[in-house]
């Protein structure tokens, strides 16, 4: 297997590849670009390498033939960028940076409750009417000509965001989420990484395991894919050089 990144001038980092793939042009606010908050290019290439290895192993079981795989970070991010690239190439309009909001759907994004923000997403006019009637308790808003269709709501998004904020900030985030759930509208709390670590779903599904490391025990999440009847192996983190001799023998060095 070959993991190749072709460059003559520098060894690419995930941020450089994000720049080359156009990711920073669609991430951030109208005035400021932003990199992805995780190592997106590295992770994308690793996932495609992983799926390619599995496919190659499956093919070898059937044909007996091996395979050489090549995965480039730029190509991996290129796959993830298919939607904004298609929009830019075929519509002639560059995608807009809209922060945590959606460039072509409204209302969609964070809104103010009395004790913090709640994220909600309206996907169609049926949900828009339910939001106005069951959550905002302002049914006349659904028929307002400025907001009667998604395209109109996108045009008047700033006005709509403020109208929604005025109504939701009289409630707590838990109250807003409960109303959204009852109305069948997609929503989420806006959590910090620490709050995610304490997420009740992770606790209820027992997703954390203690793992030994040279520096002591740490908690680690189980792999996201679960196979019925199989428990994921969560071995200890090796010390520096612990497996060097084994790896050298495997590759014939």
pLDDT tens-digit readout, 163-198? 999 999 999 999 999 999 999 999 998 899 999 999
Q: Where are the beta strands (DSSP E) in the chain?
A: 108-113, 116-121, 186-189, 208-213, 216-221
Residues 6+ apart with CB under 8 A from 122: 105, 106, 107, 108, 128, 131, 150, 185
Residue 36: the pLDDT is: 93
Distance CA 103, CA 112 (A): 19
Q: Any idea what DSSP says for residue 58?
A: H
Instruction: Give me the domains of the chain, ranges plus CATH numbers.
Output: 14-91 (no CATH), 108-190 (3.30.1540.10), 204-250 (no CATH)
Q: Which residues of the chain have pLDDT under 50?
A: 1-9
**Most distant CA pair in the chain, distance:** 75
CA dihedral 48, 52, 53, 56 (to 10 degrees): 180
What pLDDT sits at residue 2?
40
What was the pLDDT predicted at 6? 43
């Amino acid at each position: 297997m070959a993991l190749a990144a072709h460059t003559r001038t520098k060894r690419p980092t995930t941020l450089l590849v994000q720049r080359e793939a156009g990711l920073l042009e669609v991430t951030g606010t109208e005035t400021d670009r932003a990199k992805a908050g995780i190592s997106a290019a590295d992770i994308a290439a690793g996932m495609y390498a992983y799926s390619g290895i599995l496919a190659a192993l499956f093919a070898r079981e059937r044909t007996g033939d091996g395979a050489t795989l090549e995965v480039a970070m730029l190509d991996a991010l290129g796959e993830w960028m298919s939607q904004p690239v298609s929009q830019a190439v075929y519509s002639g309009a560059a995608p807009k940076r809209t922060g945590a909001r959606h460039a072509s759907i409204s209302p969609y994004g964070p809104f103010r409750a009395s004790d913090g923000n709640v994220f909600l997403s309206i996907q169609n006019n049926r949900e828009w009417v339910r939001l106005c009637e069951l959550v905002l308790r302002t049914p006349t808003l659904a028929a307002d000509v400025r907001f009667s269709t998604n395209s109109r709501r996108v045009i008047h998004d700033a006005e709509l965001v403020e109208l929604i904020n005025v109504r939701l900030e009289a409630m707590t985030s838990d109250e807003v989420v409960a109303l959204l759930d009852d109305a069948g509208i997609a929503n989420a709390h806006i959590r910090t990484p620490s709050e995610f670590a304490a997420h009740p779903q992770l606790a209820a599904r027992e997703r954390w395991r203690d793992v030994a490391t040279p520096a002591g025990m740490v908690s680690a999440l189980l792999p996201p894919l679960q196979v019925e009847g199989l428990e994921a192996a969560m071995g200890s983190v090796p010390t520096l050089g612990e497996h060097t001799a084994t790896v050298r023998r495997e590759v014939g060095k």
